[in-house]
Chain A
Amino acid sequence: MTDKKMAEALIFSKPESLTDVPTHYCPGCTHGVAHRLIAEVIDEMGVRENTVGIAPVGCSVFAYNYFNMDFAEAAHGRAPAMATGFKRVNPDMNVFTYQGDGDLASIGAAEILHAAGRGEMITVIFINNAIYGMTGGQMAPTTLPGQKTTSSPLGRDIETHGFPLKMCEILSQLDGSAYIVRRSLHDAANIRKAKKAVRQAFEVQRQGLGFSMVELLSNCPTNWRMTAKESLVWIGEHMVPVFPIGDFKVHPAIVESKKG
């Protein structure tokens, strides 16, 4: 091989499922990583042209600008209901929601619970960064005990505000759930595992096994008042002990196919 040919070899590019639009996310935010993982998986599965995404209210409200596919924008917390309505009239399409912790675990708690309970054939990508990002760093349903936010300035007091909601643990109890796992985006090894989980979740939908959700532990350097690097360390040191990484529900058919 000549030197020239080597120089032209393409070894890395944007997935087709992402647009060439610069994101509005803060420097160091893991939303970009999560977007990319989803886009890579959709490319690899060859389903971009048959996919509809439902964007939430929160930092990722403009997700549809960055994904190169059909999208609808839901009201705060209602993405699982909207995805349900869409999927029921398009059972052969690939439908996913992309939701933050305030959206999914607080205002949309009823919608996510019942979508899972019905075994809705949708995939949910749940971005848990333990804070409300877009509104400027308020306490979320997943804010850790003692964690300082603008609406828990002295730290989340469990006597007053109770405990963080653990959505994987909750949703895994429901018979309609087929694949419920938690992964993290705080280092390269975890990101690789997260991608595998995202792929598995979409495969579960394709196979019609039931409701699938991948929770991705994510950062918020801006509202956590940290550097990007510090925030990633913080996920590993503080979030993972409260929100353990793991598989909470794996449909027997998935285990069987892995064995086979």
Chain B
Amino acid sequence: MAKELLKGNVAFAEAAIRAGCEAYYGYPITPQTEALEHMAKRMPELGRVFLQAESEVAAINMVYGAACAGVRVMSSSSSPGVSLMMEGLSYIAGSEVPVVLVDIMRGGPGLGNIAPSQGDYNQIVKGGGHGDYRVITLAPATIQELIDLTVEAFDIAEKYRCIVVVLADGSIGQMMEPAELPPMQDVRKREDRPAWSLTGAKDRDPRVITSIYIDPFEEEVFNLKLVEKQKEIEANEVRFRSLHLEDAEIAVVAYGTAGRIAQSSVKQARDEGIKVGLLRPISLYPFPYDEIGKVADQVKRILVVEMSGGQMLDDVRLAVNGKVPVDFYGRMGGMVPLPDEVFEQIQELNEKANA
């Protein structure tokens, strides 16, 4: 298929449709509303389900209900809306049904604003809902990556029967770029719904989907099952991109839009003869701890750049484990760092590293 000029929010919605998403439940919130609007138009055209819920609380529970039926289902929202979904996400995690959610992050806390931010890292990656669970978190830096990761999210969610969140900031949701959409997949046939799904207890024992284990012994057994699954996820699903790390003396770690900006700054610094490389995590859970640990063995200093006050920073520090100093540069409140700002930080880092 040819490339076309696509807005992020429309791109991921259409990508989800083409991945065979059978139902979308959502609630309007800037800066992701175009996704809901696209779904409102396209899903009925295809005989699929679109429903605007009364709240994000209801939307995620509608998603939960449809997921119990064994269909591909998703929602999308932005930071304050995702806060409201945390209850439902915890129940979904506790019920092991596959669900895809796209979070187009905006400035916060509170009502904040509608400008791009990476302030939801902790909420998503560290699990904003109660209990011991993790959600696979994929962070695109381009519209093409947003499309590809959204499609992949459905496969991964079903593989592990878990939640996959595509975590992007408002600029990725709002900007337009040339990108290629995947081919159209039909929705799953009724007879192909998974063996755990609720299809009516005809010629079989009833199935129950629940997250309650009233006996602590049984709850722990279930918790351990989730932990085992997490180990599998951590072994198989780490994703990242690196640039100019081969001979790097200093390294930048940044994801999503911050990673893309840092890429420009790293190229600029390379032109100036600074031996700097970039590691851009794409999976935020599972986090590329080992890969960043290896970078720390090689470089003198590491700079973390985020559109937050320093949330992924904690994970980078865990990965670096004190081997080298970790510096931080962040813009918040909906402010996006300019490549020149990050370039200046790289220059300073280089001076410190070679002092």
**A binding-site residues for B, Cβ under 8 Å:** 48-52, 54-55, 61-62, 64, 67-75, 78, 81-90, 93, 110-111, 113-114
Do B61 and A111 have beta carbons less than 8 Å apart?
A: yes
Do A82 and B201 have beta carbons less than 8 Å apart?
A: no
> Cα distance A49–B63 when bound, in Å?
23
- Name A72's contact: one of B62, B63, B68, B202 (CB within 8 Å): B68
**B binding-site residues for A, Cβ under 8 Å:** 22-23, 25, 49, 51, 53-55, 57-59, 61-69, 71, 73, 87-88, 91, 95, 198-203, 206-212
> Cα distance A78–B58 when bound, in Å?
7
Do B58 and A88 have beta carbons less than 8 Å apart?
A: no
Q: Which residues of B contact A71 (CB under 8 A)?
A: 198, 206-210
Total A-B pairs, Cβ < 8 A: 126
The chain A residue sitting closest to B92, CB to CB, is A75
Q: Which residues of A contact B206 (CB under 8 A)?
A: 64, 67-71
Known pairs A89-B23, A93-B200, A111-B58; A73 contacts B211 (CB<8 A)? yes
Do A73 and B210 have beta carbons less than 8 Å apart?
A: yes
Do A85 and B212 have beta carbons less than 8 Å apart?
A: no
Known pairs A68-B206, A89-B49, A114-B58; A75 contacts B87 (CB<8 A)? yes
Known pairs A75-B88, A89-B49; A69 contacts B201 (CB<8 A)? yes
Known pairs A81-B58, A85-B73; A49 contacts B210 (CB<8 A)? no
Between A and B, 14 residue pairs with Cβ closer than 8 Å are: A52-B198, A55-B210, A71-B210, A78-B58, A81-B57, A81-B59, A85-B73, A86-B68, A88-B49, A89-B71, A110-B55, A111-B61, A113-B54, A114-B58
Do B61 and A89 have beta carbons less than 8 Å apart?
A: no
The chain A residue sitting closest to B53, CB to CB, is A81
Q: Which residues of B contact A83 (CB under 8 A)?
A: 65
- Name B73's contact: one of A50, A64, A89, A114 (CB within 8 Å): A89
Q: Which residues of A contact B53 (CB under 8 A)?
A: 81, 114
The chain A residue sitting closest to B97, CB to CB, is A72
The chain B residue sitting closest to A91, CB to CB, is B49
Most central of A52, A86, A88 by chain B CB within 10 Å: A88
Q: Which residues of B contact A72 (CB under 8 A)?
A: 64-65, 68, 95, 198, 208-210
Q: Which residues of B contact A88 (CB under 8 A)?
A: 23, 49, 51, 62, 66
The chain B residue sitting closest to A54, CB to CB, is B65
The chain A residue sitting closest to B88, CB to CB, is A75
CB distance from A68 to the nearest CB of B (A): 6
> Cα distance A51–B202 when bound, in Å?
10
Do B210 and A51 have beta carbons less than 8 Å apart?
A: no
Q: Which residues of A contact B55 (CB under 8 A)?
A: 110
- Name B201's contact: one of A70, A74, A111 (CB within 8 Å): A70
The chain B residue sitting closest to A65, CB to CB, is B208
Q: Which residues of B contact A70 (CB under 8 A)?
A: 198-201, 206-208
